[in-house]
Amino acid sequence: GAVVSQHPSRVICKSGTSVKIECRSLDFQATTMFWYRQFPKQSLMLMATSNEGSKATYEQGVEKDKFLINHASLTLSTLTVTSAHPEDSSFYICSAPDRGSGNTIYFGEGSWLTVV
């Protein structure tokens, strides 16, 4: 299947700082990417839909000024957690549909964020 890669896989940052997570589609182009958050023992929750060349669409309750999304190219979307706090510590996962396989959605490996 198609490959989606995230970086970093794990990051620890201090409270009040910002951290950027990258999501890349390695062998296909993606005009749309999705960002999810997952707390321990819970299911994935969609945060936002990233659109290449335009603004992201955020789910209800997700602060767009805190979770900045930039989809600068057809293979890269970034999520920046600004002014991070310990409650932002979570597993962040991106995904993208691959048109070459009938828009099947493929997921990245996930990024663990710990805010101390």
Partner 1 sequence: DAKTTQPNSMESNEEEPVHLPCNHSTISGTDYIHWYRQLPSQGPEYVIHGLTSNVNNRMASLAIAEDRKSSTLILHRATLRDAAVYYCILRPSGGSARQLTFGSGTQLTVLP
Burial, 19: exposed, middle or buried (Cβ in 10 Å; 0-12, 13-18, 19+)? Answer: buried
* Chain mean position to CA 15: 20
Q: CB under 8 A: which stretch of 13-21, 42-50, 73-81, 82-90 binds partner 1?
A: 42-50
Interface of this chain with partner 1, residues 45 to 74, rule: CB under 8 A: 45-46, 49
Site for partner 1 contains 103 (CB under 8 A): yes
Site for partner 1 contains 29 (CB under 8 A): no
Under DSSP, is residue 96 helix (H, G, I), strand (E, B) or coil?
strand
**Beta carbons of 96 and 33 less than 8 angstroms apart:** yes
Contacting residues toward partner 1, per CB under 8 A: 1, 4, 6, 30-32, 34, 36, 43-46, 49, 91, 93-95, 97, 99, 103-110, 112
